[in-house]
Structure 1
Amino acid sequence: MKEAITMSTVDLRALGWRTSSRSSASGSNANCVEIAFAGSVVAVRDSKNPAAGTLTFPAAAFTALVRH
């Protein structure tokens, strides 16, 4: 049986974070979202405050979200 990838087994600092092309980079209220792929999991965080927390989604659910 294959071990499930969970965020508790992934070092978030080691992920390759990418800023969304839809993020606004202007002003102090800029809306910046970063995503990182970790196998079957996608992590999402606020690029202005990455230490504030991370939301994680199964990759299939994230793909369905961005397609709509």
Structure 2
Amino acid sequence: MNRVDLSRARWKKSSRSSGNGQCVEVADLHITVALRDSKDPSGPVLLFERDAWTRFLAGAKNGITTS
């Protein structure tokens, strides 16, 4: 598996984050999108191909679920 350099990642929290510590942060890495738990910034990171991330966001906005 290829390693992704996260040293220059610019992590962002949602503007709708309520500050209760139950947040995720996202970093746009151009080809890949990275996702991490805001409570554990040095912990594991999930990586998504841009197309998969775009489809996920579209589904979330439209209330689409999978069963």
- The TM-score, its normalising length taken from structure 1, stands at 0.73
Identity %: 41
Structure 1 residues 7 and 63, CA, compared in 2 at 3 Å: closer, same or farther? farther
Residue number in structure 2 paired with 1:57? 48
Residue number in structure 2 paired with 1:41? 32
User: How far is 1:51 from its partner?
Assistant: 1.2
**1:67 is matched with which residue: 41, 46, 58?**
58
- The reply on whether 1:15 has 2:9 as its aligned counterpart is yes
RMSD: 1.8
Q: Which has the higher helix share?
A: 1
- The TM-score, its normalising length taken from structure 2, stands at 0.74
Q: Number of residues paired by the alignment?
A: 59
In the alignment, structure 2 segments of 5+ residues that lack a partner are 60-67
User: How far is 1:48 from its partner?
Assistant: 1.2
